[in-house]
Amino acid sequence: MQVQFNFLPLCLVLSAVILSACQPAGNDIIFVSRRDGNLEIYVVDEDGSGQANLTNHPADDWWQAWSPDGKYIAFVSDRDGNPEIYVMNADGTGQKRLTDNPGDDDGIAWSPDGKQLAFACRGDGYTDICLMNVDGSSRVNLTNNPAAEDSMPAWSPDGAQLAFQSKRTGDFDIYVINKDGLDAVNLTHFPADDGNAVWSPDGKQLAFTSFRNGKADIYLMNSDGAELKQLTTHSADDNKAVWSPDGTRIAFSSLRDGDVNIFVMNVDGSGLTRIGKRNAYDDQPSWSPDGTRLAFSSLKSGDSQIFVINADGTNLQSLSRKPIFGGKVYDDSPIWHPAGVLSGQRQ
């Protein structure tokens, strides 16, 4: 399996009454499913009830992201010919196109105050980081570097800066930039790929993936690039770090058992714990807002489904439901409702 820095999801139309009744209340999980033959965004309650197709469109919809207050969902869709950014209410109503760009737009990140969206904007053979208001107005190219490939923006918890990965030096490095587009700084400066940067909830540190030892490992550094520390040292690839809401633990995906599994460790790399069973292809971990559970996608049932499990590895539960008329599920990329908590999670 090739470890990548960014990913697109792998991957029943319910009645309008059920869909409109599905109102996220802090315990809902959104995910992508191909059960209808194309990628759609679904929602399900933490106990598996209230499952509904939110987008319900013949085109592909993916890269879903909750607003910080949980009232809206931004997503990417190719329903108008190429990947563009849309937003909708949390119940799927009010779907609105925000971008109209000949190039592809994706990699959505909400600002902590919920007023802006950062995203990767493509054009003329290069990729930049762009910002816009949540109604699509006041779009600005933040990085504006024709020689670069900038992607995967992540807001600092105070909303003052964004971290992103850039190939402007030949390999991917992690940069931070002020939200006004000034003072872009390369934090990693290493001749190997560094990416998938995620802020700690207090904004003091960044966890990221690096290939500087010839394979993918999880590293930690201060938000200014100082005090670099390697957290994983296994011979297999470790990737996709996700902070717990209280900032004391990090969940990540690993190939260390010959298949993809999810592990949790303390922020100093100690206390490593496998979550789930071996050889189940568990991936895409997402913390519950209270930090007691994880949602993830898994092939343990033969096709990709959404599961939740306690953070200590107990009480595994499947949330996916087979289509009424049979067939595969293909559910992927779960993201827990923020419930008003900014938890440092990224799609």
Per-residue pLDDT tens listing for the chain (347 residues) = 444 444 333 332 223 333 333 444 446 999 999 988 899 999 999 999 999 999 999 999 999 999 999 999 999 999 999 999 999 999 999 999 999 988 999 999 999 999 999 999 998 778 999 999 999 999 999 999 887 899 999 999 999 999 999 999 899 999 999 999 999 999 999 999 999 999 999 999 999 999 999 999 999 999 999 999 999 999 999 999 999 999 999 999 999 878 899 999 999 999 999 997 776 789 999 999 999 999 999 988 778 899 999 999 999 999 987 654 456 678 999 999 997 333 333 33
User: From residue 225, how far is each of 15, 200, 229 by CA, in Å?
Assistant: 51, 13, 10
> Residue 323 contacts by C-beta under 8 Å, 6 or more apart in sequence?
12, 35, 36, 329
Supply the pTM of this predicted model: 0.89
In a domain, 341, yes or no: no
153 domain-assigned: yes
The two most distant CA atoms of the chain are separated, in Å, by 55
Q: Domain holding 286: CATH number?
A: 2.120.10.30
Residue range of the domain that includes 202: 16-336
What are the strands of the beta sheet with 52-53, ordered from one edge?
52-53, 40-45, 28-33, 331-336
- In this structure, is residue 344 part of a structural domain? no
Q: Is residue 231 part of a domain?
A: yes
**Structure tokens belonging to residue 82:** 């190429």
Look up residue 252 and give its amino acid.
F
Given a contact cutoff of 8 angstroms between Cβ atoms, the answer to whether 210 and 192 are in contact is: yes
- Number of domains the chain contains: 1
